Amino acid sequence: MDLSLRWLADYVDTGVTPKQFCDAMTMSGSKVECYNTEADYITNCVVGKILKIEKHPDADKLQICQIDIGKEEPIQIVTAATNVYEGMMVPAALDNSTLANGIKIKKGKLRGVVSNGMMCSVSELGVTVHDFPYAIEDGIMDIKEDCKPGDDIREALGLNDTTVEFEITSNRPDCLSVLGLAREAAATFGKELHLPEVKIENETGDINELLSVEVKNPTLCRRYVARMIKNIKIAPSPRWMRERLRASGVRPINNLVDITNYVMLEYGQPMHAFDYKYLKGNKIVVRNAEEGESIMTLDGVDRKLSPEMLCICDAEKPSCVAGVMGGEYSGIQDDTNMVVFESASFLGSSVRTTAKKLGMRTESSGRFEKNLDSRMCMPAIERACQLVEMLGAGEVIGGYIDIDNEGDEPYTIEFCPDWINRFLGIELSADKMVGILEKIGYKVEGNTITVPSFRVGDTRHKADIAEEIARFYGYDVIPNTAVKGASQGALTLRQQFEKKLSRLLMANGCYEVQTYSFISPKYYDKIALPEDSGLRRSVVITNPLGEDTSVMRTTCVPSMLEVIARNYNNRNVAGRFFELGTIYLPKESAEILPEERGVAVVGSYGDKEDFFAMKGIILEALDKLGVYGVEFTANKENPTFHCGRCADISIGGKNIGVIGEIAPAVLENYGIGTRAYVATLDIAYIFDARIVEKKFKPTPKFPASTRDLAIICDDELPAAALEKAIRAGAGKLLEKVELFDVYKGASIAEGKKSVAYTMTLRAADHTLTVEECDRAVNKVLKELANIGAELRS
């Protein structure tokens, strides 16, 4: 929001410099981005009056002008312009002057004749013919303002206003107006606020005889106010209005359009002016668009409307998309004679949805989508009619049509000065609080605060009132005190679990990474996912940032390999990484949201990394998380991983992830020239499988017996299978079984291996006898025999 300080001065006299103004406003909660003095780029340029014009002796197209610049002697300027005449008031850029776009003017000679400067056109001053309608585009500007030779050109043309740019948050649409900011400024500087006095002197006729308004959707249209103007006289706006519009970043067009824009800036209420002759049936109907309806908007684009969009229609067709943009024939034309002013309030969410669907975000929709105060409709339209009368732009027709669907129930909040003092840590009297609140429009009666209509949107609780007090009391003067009380927030069990998992992985030397949840469908080819794999079915993003981010991932492996590849290519010799990410598994129908599953993915590469190191990381983390009974089953079918160096991770027969060395072909796809290892874990499964309750066993009272077994078995037989058989055979007596030696070589047949286990046997209630231990060992040997393993002899 650009605010003209000259305009602001009409309503509140702050009496401070622009910098002091900006600092104070920022401290009171209206953040100032920057401030600019208009045309501060122009230097040493004054108003000049052409006294005499002579032909240049050596050039047909040049003329020598003697110009009065308010000094004793006139100066001589040579020009090629043809529109100059004696007595003309012109902008004269003198020796060593600067104009728009950094143009520097110096004294010089043109075909042997001295020229002490340059006469300027509008563009050389950085303005347009819209700002000065009497000026011409190509030629020296003929100044028609009240000024005299020697006046600074910026003051003469009104180019010396200061504009302050505010960053207005979406909860304060009331500050998207000069009056809103004036209210804030008055409260900030403790000055009186002078609101404009709106009064229409002459009204003729009755609007109800000329127009009828029907609102068919009172939910989306909370208020609709219409007034009419007849005998329109289209002309340029007066200078003061053009200056204010220009300072606010709005291009002046003509008196009627400028009035609607002026009121929008002044009151924050967007308005629209309909040409009455294009309103079929002399009727305005506010309704939802019908299926298949379309409208040609003011920008000349034919737009298809859908039934959820609200339209302002005449008896036959839509004339305007409510709150967004008018139709082609709804605006002001050169032959417009009678107009209908509309000042309405639409539901913010509806305007936003409509604007987004139509792909057009206008100044108007940007304001309406913040839910404007419907109480502002009437003052704004009255002000517009007053300006019409003031500018002689037409005659105001008597009466108005006001359809108010919102009611006038005020919103109240309990006034608790003690609570506010406690909450803010200050000691401010109730009277002073009332003074602050009343300055910004609140009414306080007893213990009740009535919230002004323009603040109902963001003042719902006594804490909001405390905020109002704090910002005008001064955040910087609130004394520093120690924080009291205890935090009531806490992490959920799942969050705690993930945090612990994250720390455990970090403790194992892994760096945490975060990657995008969206990937390219080509990534599935890069990890050699089979064509018929269900994981290739992904949620497709409607508006992707690019092809590389066009689908939601169904596996985190490609993202991890990207990280490994990037680090490898950046000459990092080794690395361990992990990510606690999310995968998105689509449902049968695209209408149903996908299943979002949390996944932990760990990746590593480097000389010291191998399958067992990765397995160790996973086992360590799961053990510390209370997840026991993890089994690893060899998987030779997963094409992403190296055949024979991959295993499925499961708990109680339920697959919870995969671990393995990445297949060489996949590594090549990523340009990784070293071995890499990846493991994935489904966080939800391991979270459910964890054992929270810790059980403690008493120290054994009876001694244990240990038996060592050296077993010969097929090389292919995994140690896990042997261990399972030993546990099954030894039963309850087995306290611990541990692999302590693996041997292949002399005296061991080809394709076989020797593995040695230590079994610790113990009974809780007696000392084991030799017979009991032997029986257990025999049972173990039987179980081992079933899987083709036998005692080494």
Partner 1 sequence: MTSKKELSDLTLRFQARTLNIYRKLFFDLQERDYSIELRDRSAKLAKAIKEEDYPEAKSQAENITYLFKLAYQANLILPTVYQSLAVDGLTLCATIEEAINGEIGPDPEPEIIPVEEIPTTVRKYIPGGNK
User: Using CB under 8 A as the criterion, which residues of the chain lie in contact with partner 1 when the complex forms?
Assistant: 516, 545, 566, 569-571, 671, 673-674, 706, 708-710, 738, 740-741, 743, 745-748, 754, 756, 758, 760, 792-793
Nearer to partner 1, 481 or 747 (CB): 747
Closest CB to partner 1 among 27 and 748? 748
Nearest distance, CB of residue 523 and partner 1, angstroms: 17
Of 26 and 754, CB closest to partner 1: 754
Is 626 buried (19+), middle (13-18) or exposed (0-12) by CB count in 10 A?
A: middle
Torsion of CA 743, 748, 753, 759, to 10 degrees: -70
Question: Measured in whole angstroms, how far is the alpha carbon of residue 593 from the centre of its chain?
Answer: 23
Q: By C-alpha distance, which of 736, 746, 748 is closest to 710?
A: 748
Bridge-partner residues for 304, per DSSP?
Answer: 294
Which residue in this structure is represented by tokens 């806490």? 490
Q: Which residue, 281 or 673, is less far from partner 1 as judged by CB?
A: 673
Q: How far is the CB of 741 from partner 1 (least distance, A)?
A: 6
92 in Cβ contact with 117 (< 8 Å): yes
CB of 551 to partner 1, least distance (A): 16
Of 183 and 352, the one with the shorter C-beta distance to partner 1 is 352
E strands, 279-410, are 283-288, 294-296, 302-304, 310-313, 318-321, 325-326, 339-346, 395-396, 401-404
Helices 178-189 and 18-27 pack at an angle, to 10 degrees, of 90
The string of DSSP codes covering 565-597 is HHHHHTT---EEEEEEEEEEE--SSTTSPPEEE
Q: Least Å distance between CB 586 and partner 1? A: 22
Phi, psi torsion values for 735, nearest 5 degrees = -95, -40
Alpha helices (H) along 66-111: none
Nearest to 603 by CA among 693, 663, 540, 513: 513
Smallest gap, in angstroms, from Cβ of residue 734 to partner 1?
Answer: 15
Q: Which is nearer to partner 1, 438 or 668 (CB)?
A: 668
| Residue 257 Cβ vs partner 1, minimum distance, rounded to whole Å | 34
Cβ-based nearer residue to partner 1, 199 or 571: 571
- Minimum CB separation of residue 414 from partner 1 in Å reads 39
CB 140 to partner 1: min, Å:
45
Burial degree of 770 (CB within 10 A; 0-12, 13-18, 19+) = exposed
Instruction: Report the nearest approach of partner 1 to the CB of residue 768 (Å).
Output: 17
Token digits for 251? 């291009």
The residues with which 4 forms a beta bridge, in sequence order, are 163
Give the 3-state secondary structure of residue 286: strand
Give whichever of 56 and 566 is closer to partner 1, judged by the CB atom.
566
Cβ 574 to partner 1 shortest distance, Å: 14
For partner 1, the closer CB: 493 or 573: 573
Q: In angstroms, what is the minimal distance from the CB of 792 to partner 1?
A: 4
**Alpha-carbon span 253 to 129, nearest angstrom:** 10
CB of 615 to partner 1, least distance (A): 16
Task: State the minimum distance, in angstroms, from the CB of residue 74 to partner 1.
Answer: 55
Neighbouring CB atoms inside 10 A of 637's CB total 10
Supply the DSSP string of 178-245, one letter for each residue. HHHHHHHHHHHHT----PPPP-----BS-HHHH-EEEES-TTTEEEEEEEEEES----PPPHHHHHHH
Looking at the Cβ atoms of 76 and 520, the one nearer to partner 1 is 520
* Lookup: tokens for 626: 């209370």
Contact 42, 210 (CB under 8 A): no
**In whole angstroms, what is the distance from residue 71 CA to residue 51 CA?**
13
Closest of 726, 733, 736, 732 to residue 762, by C-alpha: 733
Q: Which residue's CB is nearer to partner 1, number 46 or number 777?
A: 777
Q: Is the dihedral of CA 662, 668, 670, 675 positive or negative?
A: positive
Q: Nearest approach, Cβ of 744 to partner 1 (angstroms)?
A: 9
Nearer to partner 1, 307 or 788 (CB): 788
**Token output for 168:** 């207005």
Distance CA(318)–CA(330), nearest Å, equals 10
Cα-based angle 298, 299, 304 (whole degrees, multiple of 5): 80
Q: Which is nearer to partner 1, 390 or 545 (CB)?
A: 545
Q: Is the Cβ of residue 382 or residue 562 nearer to partner 1 in the bound state?
A: 562
CA 176 – CA 165 distance, rounded (Å): 11
DSSP 310: E
Q: Which is nearer to partner 1, 440 or 759 (CB)?
A: 759
| CB of 603 vs partner 1, minimal distance in Å | 18
Q: How far is the CB of 671 from partner 1 (least distance, A)?
A: 5
Please state the closest distance from residue 752 (CB atom) to partner 1, in A: 12
C-beta closer to partner 1: residue 222 or 753: 753
The upper half-sphere exposure of residue 390, i.e. CA atoms within 13 Å in the direction of its Cβ, equals 16
Residues 143 and 151 sit within 8 Å (Cβ to Cβ): no
Nearer to partner 1, 296 or 574 (CB): 574
The distance from CA 561 to its chain's CA centroid, rounded to whole angstroms, is: 30
Q: How many CB atoms neighbour CB 746 within 10 A?
A: 5
